[in-house]
Amino acid sequence: MRVSFHPDYHIGLPSPHPFPMGKYALLYAHLLRAGLVDPACVEEPIEAPLAMLSRVHASDYLDRCARGELSAKEIRVLGLPWSARLWRRSRLAVYGTYLAACNALKDSISANLAGGTHHAFADHGEGFCVLNDVAVTIRELQSRQAITRALIVDLDVHQGNGTAAIFAEDNSVFTLSIHGARNYPAVKARSSLDVNLPDGTADVPYLAALEDALTQAIQQAAADIVFYIAGVDVVVGDRYGRLGLTVDGLRQRDAYVIKAIRSAGLPLVIVLGGGYSPSTLQTAQLHAIVFEEAVASIIKHPEHFASHRSFYRGVF
């Protein structure tokens, strides 16, 4: 499986900071060490060009980001100290998701070892999200006529409010968000399908809700590609999550999504989303599970991962 990764996904943050920035390098090292990713299959993104970002984001917002002129209030809402390196890493992560999507269209599955920044709106960032990598990627692929329709399966414990708002009036993109009802954001946007779960939801009801919602979403979306935001903040003990999944429940969740999407014959792009375990290492280990399940699925069901040239329209 080809994956996108750049060492500059990591930037230094003042300590202590609630965002576990160290997870990117830890995850990358773990995947290589465990043999889940072949170094020859790692692709390094460039910074997403402004023309690509402007397919989603307001030019005024992009200009002010580029000049480092966000207001103190905007930076507070974002939750990360502004820096040129943050701007660069945000653009690298967007292009990483774009690369992964191109690879998924060719290979049936691919991943970005970052991304899923679903709280970024067209004209502002919030909740640690500067740019909306999945939204920009979808718009770029549509503009290149590489795809027509897309499905976003957002299983981060927080609602994908930025993504929902960006595609609110766009019937070509189906947004599914399964999240904690009482989690951030306090005011939810409207996705194509929202599933609000009560505090403490455990494995069995979670997986039942997932099966119902994903079956419906796959049918209604009629998508050419699926983006899976595989946030691990659904696991019990997460600092920001309020749900009660076990680690095994998370593994079942990831395995189920991969199987459902691939048995439907759809190209699958995996992006990380959030995770706030007690330690950064634990967060990275939880993020590794979706890769473990992807590799296991490729071995177990090779027929689901036969090269997918039928989706590749030869436009990149």
Site for Zn ion in 154-173 (CB under 5 A): 156, 158
CB of 154 to Zn ion, least distance (A): 9
Taking the least distance from each CB to Zn ion, the nearer of 49 and 200 is 200
Residues in the chain: 316
Residue count at the site for Zn ion (CB under 5 A)?
Answer: 5
Q: Which residues 241-280 are close enough to bind Zn ion by CB under 5 A?
A: 274
- Scanning 53-61, 210-218, 227-235, 256-264 for contacts with Zn ion by CB under 5 A, the matching segment is 227-235
> In sequence order, which residues have a C-beta less than 8 Å from that of residue 76 and are 6 or more positions away?
none
Tell the burial category of 171 from Cβ atoms under 10 Å away from its Cβ (0-12, 13-18, 19+).
Answer: exposed
Residue placing its CB nearer to Zn ion in the complex, 201 or 297: 201
Stretch that binds Zn ion, among 53-61, 71-79, 233-241, 281-289 (CB under 5 A): 233-241
Q: How far apart are the first and last CA of the chain?
A: 19
Q: Which is nearer to Zn ion, 21 or 42 (CB)?
A: 21
Mark the segment that binds Zn ion (CB under 5 A) among 14-22, 55-63, 195-203, 223-231.
223-231
Q: Give the Cβ contact number of residue 223 at 10 Å.
A: 24
Residue 165 CB, nearest approach to Zn ion (Å): 16
At its nearest, how many Å lie between Zn ion and the CB of residue 179?
Answer: 8
Site string for Zn ion, 183-222 (x = CB under 5 A): ----------------------------------------
Task: Note whether 132 and 121 are within 8 A (CB).
Answer: yes
Q: Tell me the backbone φ, ψ of residue 185, rounded to 5 degrees.
A: -80, 145
Q: Which residues contact 197 (CB under 8 A, 6 or more apart)?
A: 178, 179, 180, 181, 205, 206, 209, 243
Determine which residue in the list 107, 233, 254, 293 makes contact with Zn ion, applying CB under 5 A: 233
- Give the shortest CB-90-to-Zn ion separation in angstroms: 17
Binder among 20, 96, 115, 231 for Zn ion (CB under 5 A): 231
Residues 105-164 that bind Zn ion (CB under 5 A): 156, 158
Q: Is 184 exposed, middle or buried (0-12, 13-18, 19+ CB in 10 A)?
A: middle
| Cβ proximity to Zn ion, 89 vs 158, nearer residue | 158
Q: Interaction with Zn ion in 32-91: which residues (CB under 5 A)?
A: none
**Residue 225's closest CA among 128, 310, 152?**
152
Q: How far is the CB of 96 from Zn ion (least distance, A)?
A: 18
The residue number with the shortest CB distance to Zn ion is: 274
* Residue 148, number of CB atoms within 10 A of its CB: 12
Which residues sit at the interface with Zn ion, rule CB under 5 A? 156, 158, 231, 233, 274
